[in-house]
Structure 1
């Protein structure tokens, strides 16, 4: 072999070696960031792209067009604290101690986020993430004040109970949207930061600063981030909203705003008097405030738009998983009810939009029955952040369904109503893509059943129990089977009454 050929041969070997060495670095995908946004009390009907409520949400709509819109996301226990407990732990309420809304009356039941529950944020931190939380937490039941009947809702969460979140700009729960307060990072309980600004606007500013990270103090720039934002609006009081957001709705009539066929503003909903969670005799609030409720949604949408623009400006939008969802919906006069905590779709069907340009093709719609405990394992698998994830979760990893359109989809999602401190109490139900079936047990141990055909009766106006619908027996059997699999203590109580 002459020198020229030898040098050429040697060069080929060097090039091949260098190529082999550099390929993994060039092709290895960087861990995605996560921005998880969940406005409080935002029903799925309240997103403009769904063409149900006449509400203006251009930024959320655009996000849905750029990602996947999941139409059957279910808040299995449509109440603030139980939802948050399921989201953070991947476990159902009777497995994580958060059986009801956290406040001082529930302190005696230890109705709080448990320190020993390895949670969403714990796993993220173990897998190299910088984790942040902004806004309402509502997972700590504070101790009562001795010799006083005052119920304390807001609560300070000590650092050792924050499950790895190192950026903290949060509070327990309160509803003064125009004058919010926060505990910031290492602040002691007495060191409260008070703000004189609409909470959604202020929190968006905080998050934009977190994203831009100008001083490199809000987060570690060398780590991917996972930021959870729980913005309180559109939770009531509905009137706490800047006037500029009310303007598009101000001159509209009730019939132009409350367009659902099941709205009844005059009924006392007597048939639901047994259900202690159902908010009856308050439909005057719908008359007075539906325009404010929609205005808050529009205002939150604007702030979400500002945050998404900051992501884009920083070049982080392509490899950031953005999720928009909610802890539960709002009845707003449907079935003569207000608020949440009942099995109707206005309460349990929440938005779920996920955008990840690097992995999820835009413009997709999916009728996946996504339950709250599924969110933790699904997102952790999507992010490749599964080291240290507990093996006893109640949720299921549905990442392959979202990313590849493959894998088994759940056939049903469970519904819960549980009384404080009593895990075997209350009501249980099941929602499929076509039906809703519920069994209730009231304080007198009276059992009732409800069956709705959600395809032919989308507003759930007719209870078909006892009318020969073959789905009644099938869904009852499926519900009891699922409760058995999930080791629900309610099942033994129900069976003892048969």
Structure 2
């Protein structure tokens, strides 16, 4: 009888709306090219990230999280589908993720959530500044986004269903975070749960474009370089690191602002907050820049999961090998929603709650087709590899390429591949890799095989060019080459 009266009172509106919803909200903070090593809580003594350091003290720190294909569009597509790149087909930048895919936003929307996306999208493939219609927004309703820009101080976006382009009034991370705060204030007045993504374009290069306030913080700072940065790169790395850190501190303030808004609106307790990145940044390590390569600075990303209702506010370091396709099913598991059969990633929610033992020994990393900032002319190559709790093992098309003992050699200075002392390790990981590829139906062929299979048009560097489109959003092709025109 009491239970019947309870539901009757809810129906009649006698109970506050905020008390009726028990489904957790989601606030996913995705940044671009932020490597796991570059936070105060991770041990970087130069970068100033006080809000993230505090968030880490009150969150689960999944410190072994890997970006399985460490480059922008593939990560994002795997994040919202729970699938590996050769399944959803986005293994290069600037290509379209099929709008018929089952995505995280569609699932949460079906479960009664409001869905929203703010910032960089990079899964549409119709040009980096083109309008993205509702039919290609993968289930996200509240919309203030652009396909891709790194012009952080003159950053454009589209809002709602209007094809009129707008511009964020300030440095875009700040303006976008302020929009998140407004969104959170509106959500505190409704019982409907929300799932909101904010996708920030920095600290991705260009490095020297953060607001002056933040750049000044690092003008005279002593920059400590990683041990795997060659001496010849020292001067450039120091300059780039100053700007990289400036972007990070600006973002850190934004994280603090959004976190404070959750508290003020009474939403923190029942909101799952994630802070993570699509991939890292080599920033001179191993004599290289940017991403795609299988080194720690490229594949390892931060992943903080803050959910007081389930985990309290006492921080905990967790060493599960979370990979990009695992994020969607894990969030669904934490939200008590069914994981669709299309998802290939693992649901770690029971492991995080301590209800199930972690049985994941290895996780997959790959580059299907080198392109863009890591073309063949720059040493780019196809690879498949496994990361374990201790080792990284990678093969290219010629055979075993890299083997690192990350425990004894955290800067990956010594390639142990084919050395007798680790013969048993290499053999074991090689067999495990073959089994994983078989499971994924990955034949590990030349990247151009998959480019042809998915009918992607590439330029002479084997990169899908940025595209010009007509008013209908259809790529305009250069008739002399057959390729879309490059507007870079």
* 2:464 is the counterpart of 1:472: no
Q: 1:204 to 1:29 in 2, by over 3 A?
A: closer
- For residues 355-366 of structure 1, the aligned pairs below 5 Å read 355-361=306-312, 362-366=314-318
For the 8 Å contact 1:330–1:346, the answer to whether it is kept is yes
- 1:408 paired to 2:358: yes
Q: Are residues 242 and 405 of structure 1, via their aligned partners in 2, closer, same or farther at CA, if it must alter by over 3 Å?
A: farther
Q: When the two structures are superposed, what TM-score results if normalisation uses the length of structure 2?
A: 0.83
The Cα offsets for residues 354-374 of structure 1, whole Å up to 9 and x where unpaired, read as 011110132111111000000
For each residue in 1:63-92, what CA deviation from the matched residue of structure 2 results, as whole angstroms up to 9, or x when unmatched?
A: 111110011000000000000010011111
Distance 1:229 1:285 in 2: 31
Q: How big is each residue's C-alpha offset from its partner over 1:257-302, in whole Å with a ceiling of 9 and x where there is no partner?
A: 32x21111526xxxxxxxxxxxxxxx76423221110111010000
Task: Find 1:382's aligned residue among 327, 330, 334.
Answer: 334
1:459 corresponds to 2:414:
no
For residues 492 and 55 of structure 1, the distance between their equivalents in structure 2, rounded to whole angstroms, comes to 40
C-alpha separation between the residues in 2 aligned to 1:30 and 1:132? Answer: 19
**Cα distance change on mapping 1:196 and 1:492 into 2, 3 Å:** closer
Alpha-carbon separation, structure 1, partners of 2:103 and 2:3: 41
Quote the residue 1:76 is aligned against: 68
Pick one of 247, 257, 267 that aligns with 2:224.
Answer: 257
Correspondence 1:353 to 2:307:
no
Q: Say which of 422, 429, 433 aligns to 2:385.
A: 429
Partner residue, 1:278? none
Tell me what 1:135 maps to.
Answer: 119
> Under a length normalisation based on structure 1, what TM-score does the superposition of the two structures give?
0.81
**Matching of residues 206-355 of structure 1 within 5 Å:** 206-213=179-186, 221-253=190-222, 256-258=223-225, 260-266=226-232, 285-355=236-306
Task: Provide the secondary structure at the position in 2 that maps to 1:335.
Answer: helix
1:63 equivalenced with 2:17 (yes/no)? no
1:404 Cα deviation (Å)?
2.5
Separation in structure 1 between the aligned mates of residue 281 and residue 236 of structure 2, nearest angstrom:
12
Unaligned runs of 5+ in 1: 1-16, 103-110, 143-151, 268-282, 494-498
How far did 1:426 drift?
1.6
Shift in Å at residue 488 of structure 1? 1.0
Q: Quick check: which has more Rg, 1 or 2?
A: 1
Distance 1:57 1:69 in 2: 15
Which residue of 2 is the match for residue 198 of structure 1? 171
Structure 1 residues 420, 433: CA separation in 2 closer, same or farther (over 3 Å shift)?
Answer: closer
After superposition, the C-alpha distances for 1:308-365 in whole angstroms (9 at most, x for unaligned) are 1111110001110000010000111111111111111101000010011110132111
What is the aligned length? 427
Aligned 1:4-15 pairs, distance under 5 A: none
Structure 1 stretch 26-35 or stretch 38-47: which is displaced more?
A: 26-35
CA contact (8 A) 1:369 1:409 kept: no
Aligned to 1:372: 324
